[in-house]
Amino acid sequence: MASKHHYYLDFFRLSVIAQFSRDASRNRLGYAWWVLEPALMLAVFYVVFGLILQRGGPGFIYDLLVGVTLWSWFSNTMQKSTASISRSAQLMQQIYIPKQLLPLISVSAEALKALILVIILLFILAITIGPSATWLWLPLILALQLLFGTACGMITAHLLPFMNDVKYIVTMVLRLAMFLSGVFYRIDVAVPEAYRDYLMLNPLATLIAEARNVLVSGSPPQLDWLLYVFAISLVLLIIGYWLIKRHDRVYPRLLSR
């Protein structure tokens, strides 16, 4: 029914807005946390690796800026979308809603926040190292990260109602992924050559590396790696969507106990 799609779209839009403003109203510093949180993370890495361990090297701060921006977007997306189906337990006990919408709402709200971070990032880079033509590749890289985040988020959102342990597993995997994705180092510089390609199999490592290529180094991205990320994300997205669709009317039962 055409009219049904129309009101699910309304629900989607209103929910994104509500999540947006709820996050801000719960904390005293409100919207400032969106910027403050990655800024503090950046400061920690800079102090530990740049100042104390002296592992930074020239341009370290710019690599860090790019790494932290993409990382905090991914990590927030995963945390919010993993919880998205379970936290809507009350809603789905009372009214029917296509469950695929729930992770999509979380992903979209986080993408909007990330957009603000990206604009700040571009502003800082523009006034320090200056813009370059390769920046035009950035939308492609961001689109791929959105796709990858949506795909992973849908799968974990599906798993959580079945197993509450997923919450802890996601936290642990995210922590591991932060160290393995080259958030605070360049894989093609800091890692022995034999291991580089293995680390780059992690789509997030590829995305961060390519974002640095186009934003900081001014070189074009390696398209074969981006194609690889696209293929993996697409497969995961299809699996996640199918899982949620198949269990559409099963979640209310799981979550009512």
- Using CB under 8 A as the criterion, which residues of the chain lie in contact with other proteins when the complex forms? 1, 3-4, 7-8, 10-11, 14-15, 18, 22, 26, 87-88, 90-97, 249-250, 252-253
Distance CA 33, CA 36 (A): 5
Q: Which is nearer to other proteins, 100 or 206 (CB)?
A: 100
Q: How far is the CB of 96 from other proteins (least distance, A)?
A: 4
Displacement of CA 154 from its chain's centroid (Å): 12
Q: Given the complex with other proteins, which of 97 and 173 has the nearer CB atom? A: 97
**Closer residue to other proteins (CB): 116 or 163:** 163
Instruction: Report the distance separating Cα 82 and Cα 160, nearest Å.
Output: 7
What distances in angstroms separate CA 63 from CA 71, 102, 123, one per listed residue?
A: 12, 33, 15
Closer CB to other proteins, 92 or 118, in the complex: 92
Least distance (Å) from other proteins to the CB of residue 196? 39
Least Å from the CB of residue 7 to other proteins? 5
The C-alpha atoms of residue 69 and residue 73 are separated, in whole angstroms, by: 6
- In the bound state with other proteins, the residue whose beta carbon lies nearer, of 88 and 108, is 88
**Closer by beta carbon to other proteins, 203 or else 252:** 252
Nearest to 222 by CA among 166, 141, 165: 141
> Minimal distance in Å, beta carbon 62 to other proteins?
38
Q: Quick one: residue 221, left, alpha or beta (phi over 0 = left, psi -120 to 50 = alpha)?
A: beta
Q: What minimum distance in Å lies between the beta carbon of 81 and other proteins?
A: 16
Phi, psi of 196 (to 5 degrees): -55, -50
The least CB distance from residue 236 to other proteins, in Å, is 24
Q: How many CB atoms lie within 10 A of CB 133?
A: 9
Q: 199, 191 in Cβ contact below 8 A?
A: yes
Neighbours of 32 (CB within 10 A): 12
> What type of residue sits at position 98?
P
